[in-house]
Homo-oligomer: A and B are copies of this chain.
Amino acid sequence: MTDKKINAKYTVEGRVWINSENFAFTGQGKIELIEKIKVLGSLRKAASEMKMSYRQAWQNIDKMNKLSEKPLVILKRGGKDGGIAEVTEFAENVILAYKNLQTAFDIFIKEQTKKLNI
């Protein structure tokens, strides 16, 4: 017989990210941004699609690139299409690591919510 006494009023929530030298260089928003860049090949379009200001998007990418070992997105201006935004293989690894983390965290949250005793 399963225990049905679940208190749904209180839940555990939280956030996780990966840090590099005092800067959270991942986080849901940034991961999503990189993924959109990968699809669209453009920082401007990616930001626009996320309804994130271009400025903020650029700053995020710039910080991530500068504060991590290797760049995550290579931005080039000029050229045929005005410029390109290229997602590096390193970024792919980071995204994978973040997703694994997030998956584990989701499980953690569920467990802890179940354990809540208030």
Contact = CB atoms under 8 A, between A and B. Distances in A.
Which secondary structure dominates where chain A touches chain B? mixed
A13 interface: yes
A102 to B, nearest CB: 10
B118 A93 contact: yes
Interface in A21-66: 21, 24
Number of copies: 2
A75 interface: no
A96 B69 CA distance: 40
A9 B101 contact: no
Interface in A1-29: 9-21, 24
A49 to B, nearest CB: 26
Given A93-B118, A116-B97, A117-B97, A10 B18 contact: yes
Contacts of A13: 16-19, 24
Contact of A93 (B11, B20, B117): B117
